Structure 1
Amino acid sequence: MIVIAITGASGVVYGVKLLEALNKLNRDTALLMTDPAKIILKYEMNMEEEELRQLTTVIYDPKDLTASINSGSCRFNSMVIAPCTMKTVSAIANGYANNAITRAADVTLKEKRKLVLVPRETPFRSVHLENMLKISNEGGIILPAMPGFYHKPENIDDLCNFVVGKILDALEIDNNLFKRWHDENL
C-alpha cells in the first residue's frame, strides 16, 4: 500500500492525479486529506473529498493518531505528500508528529521506507531549505512541483502529468505519463 497525503497548499491536482494513476495501475492506496486541502480541492478543482473515495482503498482522518499507518508494524510500502505545505515539512523535519500525516511520515522515515514530499511554496526561506535538507539527509525525497518542458507540453494536464510521472519514478513504479528524454533528442 502507498500512503498519499494531500495538505493545504495550492496544487492539490498533483495528489488527485497521483491517486488516479495509482488506481489505473491497481495499486492499493490510503488517503489522508487535511481540512485546508479539502477547501483547496473544492476551489481549485471543484471537487469534494467524497469524489476521491473511488480512487483509493481507504481514507484515514488526519486527526486520528490511532490509525494503523501510525505504527511501524503497519506494512505500507511508501508515502507521498502532494502537495506538501511548509508547515508539514517543518513538523516532519523536527519530529513533531502531531497528526496522522506527520506521524505516518515519521514512521516512513524511521522504518527506512520511501517518503516523497512535493513542496508547494515559492520562494523558499532558508528555514524551508534547512527543513527539507534535514528530511533529505534522513532518506526522504524532496520532489518540488517543477515540470520539465523538453517533452513539449501542450496543456496543463501535460505539466501535471510530468510531475506525477516523476513521483512514480521516485517510487520505482513504471509509467508513461510524460515523454522521456532520449538520445535522439540530443
Structure 2
Amino acid sequence: MINQFEMQLTQKYVSQYRKSSKKERGQILFDYCQLTKVKRNTAVRRLLRKRLTPIIYPIKRKGKRRGPKTKYLIVHKNLLYKCWILSGKICAERLVVMIPDYLIQLKKSGKINPYSLDDIKIVRNISESTVKRIIKTFPENILSSLYPKKRKGNLSLYKQIPIKANFGSKVT
C-alpha cells in the first residue's frame, strides 16, 4: 500500500518525470527509489500511472453513413408491408410477382391514398432480392425466426402464384 508521503512524492515527481529526457528520468527514478524504498519497476509504474491532466478523447462526429445511399425510404417499406400483409405473409419470390395487383387492390380500398404516385411506382419496381431483404426486417418475420412454428398451409396459394426463376442462363 502507498502511504500519504509516497502519494505526495509520486505526484511531485510525475510532472518532472514526464517532461524529462531519458538520462534525467534515470536520475529521477534513482532518487524516488531511495526515498520510498521501492524497486525500480514499481517506481516506473507509479510514475507512468499518474497523469497531470486527464486525457479527454475527442467526441466522434457522426458523419455521413458509409455505403450506398438508401434508395427505399420508410414510406416504401410501409407500402411493401401493406402488400405483404394483404398477401398473407408469403415469401418474397411470390410477392414480387403480385405487388402490382396488391397495389391496385389497396388503392381501390383507399388504404394507400396518403402515398404519392411516385412512391407507388418505386414500390412496383423493387427487385426480388431487395424485397427479401426488406421483408426480413418486418416484426412478424423477426419473431418467427426466433420461435419457429409449423408451416401454415398456403399450398393452394403457392400453386396459383408463379415464381420468376432466372438461374443465370440467357433465354433466347
Q: TM-score, normalised by structure 2?
A: 0.22
The structure where helix makes up a greater share of residues is 2
Q: Which has the higher strand share?
A: 1
Return the TM-score normalized by structure 1: 0.21
